[in-house]
Amino acid sequence: MVADSKGKSDISFAGTFASSAFAACFAEICTIPLDTAKVRLQLQKKAVVGDVLPKYRGMLGTVATIAREEGMASLWKGIVPGLHRQCVFGGLRIGLYEPVKNFYVGSDFVGDVPLTKKILAALTTGAIGITVANPTDLVKVRLQAEGKLPPGVPRRYSGALNAYSTIVRQEGVGALWTGIGPNIARNAIINAAELASYDQVKQTILKIPGFTDNVLTHLLSGLGAGFFAVCIGSPVDVVKSRMMGDSTYKSTIDCFIKTLRNDGPLAFYKGFIPNFGRLGSWNVIMFLTLEQAKKFVKKLESSS
């Protein structure tokens, strides 16, 4: 993403990992209210005839409803496991991208890396990263999914650490990898859409006369990455959220079929606007921060 046209990274893997984790965490803090709104919209089942209107309607409406009924702090539910996730997943998927891409093209490769190799590298690092980070994703979704409870009804989990221990105690260690199938599919696909598209868009923009490797280029590339990510990844994202938020689904296929049968094909794009608002802004913030963080790390490493 921030390497030269041959794909050679100009800082160490440790520096890339640290920069990636920092950038991902910063973007998470800024955009998690939109992610909370997206999860609530995705988990909301289709109303049957005679029912009242859906509780959550639209991105801003969902954010407003959560803030009004549960308080502003509820919009940041899941921020602790969210940061856990970004430290692990963000660091691995981005930090490994250049080494894996270079592995796929070979050490003697010269020229622009083909888009197919960029996609393959991003699919690989996305799958590896989320396999390690799945427990953090599970806890994040479960904390975000819990709405306002009736008086006297205790919360399912008191916090992130309590959620990890409760899930292990009540459901077993393996439960921390609930939804791993759709989660690998979702994150590998979205990672490919984000990293490969950012890489490709940035490479294309830099060939246009007048454009340089600056904030405007990073901004346009980040927006492109967010758009491709949400268009391609929304269906698997919905299945992943429903499986993690509702334990009644037996498998990924079962969740897909029931969602399609009960809510229709458009259900797979539930929360599309908040998802794009979240992923678009997330990618812009993350890539802008990442570019600056890597420049800072490069200066540190070159001076040491």
- Look-up: residue for tokens 């037996």? 250
How many Å is the maximal CA-CA distance in the chain?
A: 69
Confidence tier at 83 by pLDDT (50, 70, 90) = very high
pLDDT at position 52, please? Answer: 63
The alpha helices in 49-196, defined as continuous H runs, are: 59-70, 79-85, 91-95, 97-105, 115-145, 160-171, 180-191
pLDDT at position 5, please? Answer: 43
Mean pLDDT of the chain: 85
**pTM (2 decimals)?**
0.75
Assess whether pLDDT exceeds 60 at residue 57.
yes
pLDDT at position 216, please? Answer: 92
Range 267-287 average pLDDT: 82
pLDDT at position 236, please? Answer: 78
Higher-confidence position of 290 and 270: 290
| Relative orientation angle of helices 59-70 and 13-43, to the nearest 10 degrees | 80
